[in-house]
């Protein structure tokens, strides 16, 4: 049996799946936790990857592996291949003012036209601008900029600081893929190239793609990973395992699910995301919908919220229950939670773009202030934010036949039931699984054989549509 492996190095953990190349059947899996926080030393991701791979039985009998991961995080390397400072993650909002500055300088319309996105604090370019302004000495030392999956892929192939890796700090060997590159705000899904002017504007230093020869004027240019297409290989591990291109986690999930026209994916992990695979690239000058690339060679219009599964974690903790307890409480309340509305901007928010916002609870009366309503209001508020995102994705031309609900919180029965009431569309909850890591396994198989595998994904029947417009109406009023 030929085995392939996929990895999801996500915000909260690292997950590994090992699958049979022929059938796609799951053979082994492993996971390891990541620390809390929006600023993280990438060394802990490397450690977690090694632990998760070991828990999944290792790579000794595996022919190919590919790493998908959380998008946008800024990993800055010096000329010795050392990480200069902790990575700023996608959910770190300190670069909100930098995002505003970049938009003021370039223009939202120009950004959308050039790279398919308008900067928000999540995107890598804004973190580089923040570094330029807040830590100029660190900005001056930057020799390469990578994303989390790029850096892990490089490390897995044996590169890194001389005292930590067999192959040493060859920055020219850095790679990324289209999907993750498109989340930087200096690589365009439509053009398929880096916009080096936008990169330089962000960091204040010139950049060049790895492998591109520098001349005298660009000799101090910062190295940006070479962008691989679907099915390309990044190289091999020192032990000879083929390494696929990797992907941003949402593009990885689309690949793992085999998402096709008519499928809109709603993922409820640390982030909440709504996205679809489309043939034509999207450029939304309002910045609501990001015109990302997918991992199969086309496009992935996407909205993201900063407040998803952890909203439920926080309210469950407050109520002194576990996830099952939260579900039972929520299901025991009426739709609309007795008029209680939770606007869940605990971490600020990205959609809508309110990086400094805080969460709030509305509509409490003595009678309505009971745990069941609070549990239900948390789920309704979190899902209403994603339903607003679905409207935005529809507004750029995406038409869905069904919604595929994935991510850690999708397995919660109350989340699935309330989703069928909040989304005016058929909701399907695929079998529990690690779809991002599965996307990595699909990439590994693709790089190994040259052909995208046609593994089947178990799809449950859609939940009956049970739309309750009053839930979104009272949420919209409270949010306003
Ligand atoms: N049954 C459940 N109900 C609600 N939330 C859940 C449930 N199971 C897991 N979660 C939450 O899902 C999140 C992890 O989901 P995951 O998709 O792995 O996140 P990420 O990819 O961002 O690391 C955690 O916040 C966890 O508490
Ligand atoms: O910022 C985005 C997408 O633009 C997030 O989706 C991150 O990619 C993190 O994903 P999770 O770890 O929450 O799945």
Q: Indicate the pLDDT class of residue 216, thresholds 50, 70 and 90.
A: very low
| Average pLDDT, integer, range 434-440 | 98
Q: How confident is the model at residue 6 (pLDDT cuts 50, 70, 90)?
A: very high
Q: What values do phi and psi take at 24, rounded to 5?
A: 85, 0
pLDDT greater than 50 at residue 208 = yes
Q: Name the residue among 299, 296, 306 with its Cα closest to residue 283.
A: 299
71 labeled part of a ligand binding site: yes
91, 122 contact by CB (below 8 A):
yes
Alpha helices in 357-412 (DSSP H): 371-395
Residue 459: per-residue pLDDT: 78
Q: What is the pLDDT of residues 400-425, one digit of tens each?
A: 999 999 999 999 999 999 999 999 99
Residue 249 annotated as catalytic: yes
3-state DSSP assignment of residue 140: helix
Asked if residue 55 lies in contact with residue 7, where contact means CB atoms within 8 angstroms, the answer is: no
Among residues 249, 284, 294, 438, the one annotated as catalytic is 249
| Structure confidence by residue, pLDDT tens digits, 441-455 | 999 999 999 999 999
Confidence band for 219, pLDDT divided at 50, 70 and 90: low
Mean pLDDT of the chain: 97
Q: Which ligand is nearest to the CA of 321?
A: 1
In this prediction, residue 146 carries a pLDDT of 98
Tell me the per-residue pLDDT of 8-21, one tens digit each, with 9 for 90 and over: 999 999 999 999 99
Q: Is the ipTM of this complex over 0.90?
A: yes
- CA-nearest residue for atom 10, ligand 2, is 70
Does position 215 have pLDDT exceeding 70, yes or no?
no
- Indicate which residue's Cα is closest to atom 9 of ligand 1: 408
pLDDT at 79 over 60: yes
Q: Is the minimum distance from the CB of 9 to ligand 2 under 6 angstroms? A: no
With CA atoms as reference, report the closest residue to 91 among 152, 154, 34. Answer: 34
Ligand 1 atom with the smallest distance to the CA of 309 is 25
**What pLDDT sits at residue 220?**
86
Q: Tell me if 328 CB under 6 Å of ligand 1.
A: no
What does each C-alpha distance from 242 to 59, 70, 447 come to in angstroms?
10, 22, 8
How many angstroms is it from 90 CA to the middle of ligand 2? Answer: 7
Residue 218's pLDDT band (boundaries 50, 70, 90)? low
Contact (Cβ atoms closer than 8 angstroms) between residue 4 and residue 18: yes
Residue 12 annotated as lining a ligand binding site: no
Under a CB-based contact definition with an 8 Å cutoff, are residues 390 and 423 in contact?
A: yes
- Residue 27: pLDDT over 80: yes
Q: Is the dihedral of CA 396, 402, 407, 411 positive or negative?
A: positive
Query: How far apart are the C-alpha atoms of 192 and 223, rounded to whole Å?
Result: 17
Query: What integer pLDDT is reported at residue 214 of this predicted model?
Result: 55
Please report the pLDDT score of residue 460 as a whole number: 83
Q: Is the pTM of this model over 0.90?
A: yes
Residue 281: is its pLDDT beyond 80? yes
């Amino acid at each position: 049996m030929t085995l392939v492996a996929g990895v999801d190095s996500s915000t909260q953990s690292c997950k590994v799946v090992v699958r049979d190349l022929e059938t796609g059947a799951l053979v082994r899996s492993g996971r390891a936790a990541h620390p809390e926080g929006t600023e993280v030393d990438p060394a802990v991701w490397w450690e977690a990857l090694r632990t998760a791979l070991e828990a999944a039985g290792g790579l000794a009998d595996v022919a190919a592996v590919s790493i998908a991961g959380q998008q946008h995080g800024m990993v800055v390397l010096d000329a010795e291949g050392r990480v200069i400072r902790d990575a700023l993650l996608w959910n770190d909002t300190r670069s909100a003012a930098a995002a505003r500055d970049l938009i003021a300088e370039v223009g939202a319309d120009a950004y959308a036209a050039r790279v398919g996105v308008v900067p928000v604090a999540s995107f890598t370019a804004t973190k580089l601008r923040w570094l330029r302004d807040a830590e100029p000495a660190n900005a001056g030392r930057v020799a390469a900029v990578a994303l989390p999956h790029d850096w892990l892929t490089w490390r897995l192939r044996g590169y890194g600081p001389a005292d930590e890796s067999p192959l040493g700090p060859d920055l020219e060997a850095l790679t990324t893929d289209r999907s993750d590159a498109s989340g930087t705000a200096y690589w365009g899904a439509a053009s398929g190239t880096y916009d080096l002017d936008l990169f330089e504007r962000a960091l204040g230093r010139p950049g060049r793609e790895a492998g591109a020869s520098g001349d005298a004027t660009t000799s101090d240019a910062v190295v940006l990973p070479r962008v691989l297409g679907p099915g390309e290989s990044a190289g091999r591990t020192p032990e000879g395992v083929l390494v696929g291109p990797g992907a941003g986690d949402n593009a990885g999930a689309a690949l793992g699910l085999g998402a096709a026209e008519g499928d809109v994916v709603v993922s409820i992990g640390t982030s909440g995301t709504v996205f679809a695979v489309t043939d034509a690239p999207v450029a939304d000058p309002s910045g609501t919908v990001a015109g990302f690339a997918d991992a199969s060679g086309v496009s992935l219009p996407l909205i993201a919220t900063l407040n998803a599964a952890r909203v439920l974690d926080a309210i469950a903790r407050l109520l002194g229950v576990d996830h099952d307890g939260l579900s039972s409480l929520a299901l025991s309340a009426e739709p609309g939670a007795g008029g209680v509305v939770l606007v869940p901007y605990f971490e600020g928010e990205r959609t809508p773009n309110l990086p400094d916002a805080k969460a709030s609870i509305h509509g409490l009366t003595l009678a309505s202030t009971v745990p069941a309503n609070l549990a239900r209001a948390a789920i309704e508020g979190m899902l209403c934010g994603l339903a607003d995102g679905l409207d935005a994705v529809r507004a750029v031309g995406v038409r869905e036949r069904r919604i595929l609900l994935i991510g850690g919180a999708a397995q919660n029965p109350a989340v699935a039931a309330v989703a069928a009431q909040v989304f005016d569309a058929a909701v399907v909850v695929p079998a529990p699984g690690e779809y991002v890591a599965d996307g990595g396994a699909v990439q590994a198989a693709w790089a190994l054989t040259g052909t995208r595998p046609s593994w089947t994904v178990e799809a449950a029947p859609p939940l009956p549509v049970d739309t309750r417009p009053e839930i979104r109406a009272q949420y919209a009023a409270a949010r306003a």
